[in-house]
Amino acid sequence: MQSNFTSPQEEDPILTTSAAARLLGVATSTVQLWMESGAIDSWKTPGGHRRTRLSRIARLMEPAVPSQPASVGQAVEAAMSAVSPAEFQVPAAPAYPVARDEATRLVALAASGLVDSPAEARFDRIVRLAAAVTGSPIALISLLTSERQWFKARVGLEAQQTPREWAFCSHAILEHQPFVVEDAAADARFSGNPLVQDEPRIRFYAGVPLRDQAGNALGTLCVIDREPRKLRAAELQGLVDLAAIAMEELPAPPQGPRT
């Protein structure tokens, strides 16, 4: 007897980078960049080719998908991957909090060109001022990729980056106001964090999301101390004001994957 059961894999086809590019109306190289940055969830086949699922592309196309069923179906039909499910590993859920618009945020971050870019005096000045205004030994402009917390500017810290799952800033970018942790060692969310347990032994953290003109939180301006503390109102306002200056320096946001 024929079964009416359809597996999730059959309902959610595998797409090549070319198929995804046709659906999104962008160049294949653009899709490859978004996949490498983590903006589009993907995996590599044993041969090194990127693959993704239709559902992950559809999320970027909303609400375009319902209005164009014919073109979407034709593109999928034309470029469905023949890779079997046994040949890939689907990425696990991230070990840090993410917003529903994380894919869009990662696209904007990748398009900004800021990650792994050279140091710039305009951003270096801001972190120096943030440290001085708040009396903090460490101040950072932190940018969050899918795998890394990378510091565009920093004072008081030698490391250029950390794993994303260690980032206090992953929590801060979910907020629309300053995110403050007065004693990380006493906070269940952070007490076991390697950055708390080991150097730089974070105890205090205050971060303000840095949003581009489209509202994408690319990262934060944050200050850190090795002792539990609070910020006075004037110190917190100074940090917020400096974050506003940093946001004015961010590159213009991309138009996104739609054309």
The angle, 0 to 180 degrees and rounded to 10, between the axes of the packed helices 233-248 and 121-134 is 170
Annotate 23-86 with three-state secondary structure. HHCCCHHHHHHHHHHCCCCCEECCCCCEEEEHHHHHHHHCCHHHHCHHHHHHHHHHHECCCCHH
Domain 8-92: CATH architecture, name and number where available: Orthogonal Bundle (1.10)
Q: Contact 228/203 with Cβ under 8 angstroms?
A: yes
User: Which amino acid is present at 122?
Assistant: R
CATH code 3.30.450.40 for 110-248: yes
d(CA 28, CA 18): 5
Question: Which one is predicted more confidently, 38 or 72?
Answer: 38
- Average pLDDT value for the chain: 83
With tokens 């903090």, the residue in question is 136
Q: Do domains 8-92 and 110-248 have the same CATH topology?
A: no
69 has a pLDDT exceeding 60: no
Quote the pLDDT of residue 14. Answer: 85
Give me the count of residues in the chain: 259
CB 97 within 8 A of CB 59: no
The residue that leads in pLDDT, 171 or 111, is 171
pLDDT of residue 166: 96
Q: pLDDT value at position 92?
A: 56
For the chain, what are the domain ranges? 8-92, 110-248
Higher-confidence position of 80 and 143: 143
3-state helix, strand, coil in the chain (%, to 5): 40, 20, 40
How is residue 107 written in tokens?
A: 């696209």
Quickly state the pLDDT bin for 24 (edges 50, 70, 90): confident
What is the 8-class DSSP label of residue 192? T
**Nearest to 242, CA basis, from 207, 204, 205:** 207
The Cα 157–Cα 142 span in angstroms is 12
